[in-house]
Structure 1
Amino acid sequence: MNDKPTRRHDPYAVLRLPEFRLYISARLCITLAMQIQAVVVGWQIYAITNDVFSLGLIGLAEAIPSIFVSLYAGYVADTVPRKRIIVTVVAVLMFCSLALLYFTMDISRVLPLYGVLPIYVVIFISGIARGFMGPAVFSFMPQLVADKQLYANAITWSSTTWQAASLVGPALGGLVYGFYGITAAYAVDVLLVLLSLMAFALIGGKALPENVNPQNMVDSLRSGLRFVFGNQVILNAISLDMFAVLFGGAVALLPVFASDILLVGPQGLGFLRAAPAVGSVAMAIWMAYHPITLKAGKIMLWCVAGFGLSLIFFGLSTSFWLSLVLLVLSGAFDSISVIIRSTLLHTLTPEYMKGRVSSVNSIFIGSSNEIGAFRAGAMAKVMGAVPSVVLGGAITLLVVGVTALKADKLRKLDLTPELEPV
């Protein structure tokens, strides 16, 4: 008989930590702000240009600077106190939000004189800021959670918060834009960024984890790249998600579907943008009570395949309500994949290297959102919005099939408590 006591799973364990509550409150506010901004900017640019390619350029304007600074940002996150980086970055995002608000005011003649170019410039600057924010936030969160066995719980609630903001933000942005105008929508964006800045500032500063192998910047960056590319499980997991986001994303084209296919206007666009987060939040909450451990790799592969299928049927749908359901399903599948991948990265990566590893992950995943938006916009320009989404979903299924055949370690992966950093 086994007399070893079993540790009871507490789904709320990490929420009992005051600084973690401040952290997810700050993430909630900044994510709400960015989601509102994304909806408003997309609708604003499409209204001015009436060009689907211009929507893809939004993603490109943000992805290029984010990719360019990512590796250096990872190094900075491992050498500069992470709270200091986060507060600085959020202050820059506040400037960007204020600029977008100013462009819409009667006293401003910026857009009548220069068209949408100033908006792209602001998005470019915010892309630089987000490039630094990703590694800093990723590596700062574990410093608020002393018990490594709570990492999965922390990741689940952090993901739930992000997805909840992604649920409320687009709907809120669409509704405020639709009923009160663009200036009011950007004003709400500014207020939420300010609240995020205040919440991050209230968290105590944390010393950097001890680096057992100090290196200069070039060698440090190389060691981070070697770590990722030398670990088959991590490399395959982030590669799978990268291709799913790159080819399976349909978010950038939602203004086209809302305006020209489903005919639901800015209010409907808000609900379409929020729909994936409905599924993500529901699934993340379920996973807080039922964390995935056994057969995590196989589950991840099946969920990415489900994500691709959902987007194929979304592209073919002409019903607003069916489209909403399919986007909800895509969010639920994506949530499982994100939580499994994030748990892997936090568990297998040494603390002193998390900034650099996160920067590689950002290049693979984070920037793929923006590049995927450009891909979708460019393909939609050539073949139309519907074929662009359907083909992207089909390629996602192909990527899953190849990964399932080639990545045996990922396919056999279990997320057990005994999993330790390499």
Structure 2
Amino acid sequence: MNTQAHNEAYRRRDLPICLGVRFLSEASTLALSVVIGWSVYKISQTPLTLGIVGIVEFIPAVLMTLPAGELCDRLSPRPLVVTGLALQCCCALSFLALSLLHTKGLWLFYGVLLLLGTARAIAEPAAQALLPLLVPPDRLPRAVAASSTAWQMAVVLGPVVGGVCYAMGSSVAYLVCAFAFFAATAGAMTLCSQRSRRERLSLQGRIARVKEGFAFVRSEPVVLGALSLDLFAVLLGGATALLPVYAQDILKMGPQGLGALRSAPAVGACLVGLVLTRFPPERNVGPKLFAAVIVFGVATLVFAFSRSAWVSWLALAVVGASDMVSVNIRTSLIQLATPDVMRGRVSAVNALFIGASSELGAFESGVTAALLGTVPAVALGGIGTIVAAAVWMFAFPAIREADRIDIKLG
């Protein structure tokens, strides 16, 4: 077999494995988040503790994501993915131990969450950098859609499994999550590494390389605008952190209902993702991006005021569907614009923006809910998302006027 044929076979073999690892890791992550959220709220009975969960996971994201991206460029994405998944398996086992000991101290949960956030900060930029190395550039938008669909399918099943397992006991849920993380780690270990080059750099050299990632994002208005729009939209419009409050106090659905609510965005995203794998956005991508963010905000408003389980579920499904369109356009644009030698660092900046918006959004939602109430907090977030989309539409005309996903940058 010649080298070209070997490389093609290698790509065909590794991409399905990569998607399987993505599915298992995200499904277990979401199942774990359902169990942790319900356990923490059951102990404290205050939404502020749910916000603290977000900020605890945000701290390692800020400290570790960018160095992990730089290390990914110097070495290879695969070992960082394996390390992150193995640490998440250890975290699930730690939660299992806390459950078996009937621990009520929230500080112990927060301590394990700190390690869990560190593991995710290590794995996420490497996982993003790995996917473009497995497919030719012309297939990347479809591969991104396939990866996003695998992720969303995991979000459909993960929370449901978490809720069902929690009904059988939190220990069962933690054990299932640990096993899924272990299987994902084993799968990641079978992936071939396409790059492995070790560079000896001083601390100053590493810091300079990290800065290069920020400099690239800052120098490209389309990339900067797309990333910052996503950050503020999710920061303001995220209702996920408060779903335990809705499930227990507003909709009266219990832990199984919480799992169903957590799965709703992924159901909508999966349906849209399947369409995008066959019909990726090719024209008018800028207007489509803004339209998706506005729909995201409107659906969040509907969810905020709904008192019907079905209406709430459908609103969250629309949230996920619109977010899938936004993620697909933004990720494809960034990956196609990024050279291989900087992919890990730019993916780290992207992961930091996403992590910051998610975890800080959870903290913002928890604090606002504690001060104003749960429903006003979610409603204000939806309004803020719509306002952010309108502001970005005028602040970044390059995005508003973007026609094709392979727009020439710089």
* Superposition TM-score, scaled by structure 1 size: 0.91
**Matching of residue 204 in structure 1 with residue 192 in structure 2:** yes
Q: CA RMSD in A?
A: 1.9
The equivalent position to 1:302 in structure 2, one of 278, 291, 314, is 291
1:311–1:390 contact (8 Å) kept in structure 2:
yes
Per-residue Cα deviation, 1:43-76 (whole angstroms, up to 9, x for no partner):
0011111111001111111011111112211111
Amino acid at match of 1:116: L
Amino acid at match of 1:310: A
Q: How does 1:52-71 map to 2 (within 5 A)?
A: 52-71=47-66
2:213–2:342 contact (8 Å) kept in structure 1:
yes
Amino acid at match of 1:399: A
2:76–2:197 contact (8 Å) kept in structure 1:
no
Q: Distance in 2 between matches of 1:209 and 1:369?
A: 33
Match of 1:381 in 2: 370
2:74–2:198 contact (8 Å) kept in structure 1:
no
Superposition misfits of 4+ residues, deviation over 4 angstroms? 13-16, 208-211, 419-422
- Shift in Å at residue 167 of structure 1? 0.8
Q: How does 1:145-164 map to 2 (within 5 A)?
A: 145=135, 147-164=136-153
1:78–1:208 contact (8 Å) kept in structure 2:
no
Which structure 2 segments of 5+ residues have no match? Answer: 1-7
Amino acid at match of 1:169: G
The equivalent position to 1:90 in structure 2, one of 71, 82, 85, is 85
* Superposition TM-score, scaled by structure 2 size: 0.94
Q: How many residues align?
A: 400
Match of 1:331 in 2: 320
The equivalent position to 1:316 in structure 2, one of 305, 320, 334, is 305
Q: Distance in 2 between matches of 1:210 and 1:342?
A: 28
Q: Distance in 2 between matches of 1:331 and 1:60?
A: 23
The equivalent position to 2:111 in structure 1, one of 111, 114, 121, is 121
Q: Distance in 2 between matches of 1:127 and 1:176?
A: 23
1:14–1:20 contact (8 Å) kept in structure 2:
no
Q: Distance in 2 between matches of 1:16 and 1:87?
A: 19
2:55–2:360 contact (8 Å) kept in structure 1:
yes
1:209–1:351 contact (8 Å) kept in structure 2:
no
Match of 2:278 in 1: 289
Match of 1:10 in 2: none
- Shift in Å at residue 210 of structure 1? 11
- Shift in Å at residue 367 of structure 1? 2.3
The equivalent position to 2:388 in structure 1, one of 388, 395, 399, is 399
Per-residue Cα deviation, 1:317-336 (whole angstroms, up to 9, x for no partner):
11111000100011100000
The equivalent position to 1:49 in structure 2, one of 44, 51, 65, is 44
Q: Distance in 2 between matches of 1:416 and 1:265?
A: 43
Per-residue Cα deviation, 1:102-137 (whole angstroms, up to 9, x for no partner):
1111xx36x14xx11111101101111111111111
- Shift in Å at residue 421 of structure 1? 6.9
Match of 1:135 in 2: 125
**Matching of residue 74 in structure 1 with residue 69 in structure 2:** yes
The equivalent position to 2:182 in structure 1, one of 194, 207, 212, is 194
In structure 2, relative to structure 1, the CA distance for the partners of 1:380 and 1:348 (3 Å cut) is same
Amino acid at match of 1:322: V
1:246–1:369 contact (8 Å) kept in structure 2:
yes
In structure 2, relative to structure 1, the CA distance for the partners of 1:69 and 1:296 (3 Å cut) is same
Amino acid at match of 1:204: C
Q: Distance in 1 between matches of 2:157 and 2:133?
A: 28
Q: Distance in 2 between matches of 1:203 and 1:218?
A: 29
In structure 2, relative to structure 1, the CA distance for the partners of 1:296 and 1:311 (3 Å cut) is same
In structure 2, relative to structure 1, the CA distance for the partners of 1:86 and 1:226 (3 Å cut) is same
Amino acid at match of 1:385: T
Q: Distance in 2 between matches of 1:339 and 1:151?
A: 11
Match of 2:233 in 1: 244
Q: How does 1:204-243 map to 2 (within 5 A)?
A: 204-208=192-196, 216-243=205-232
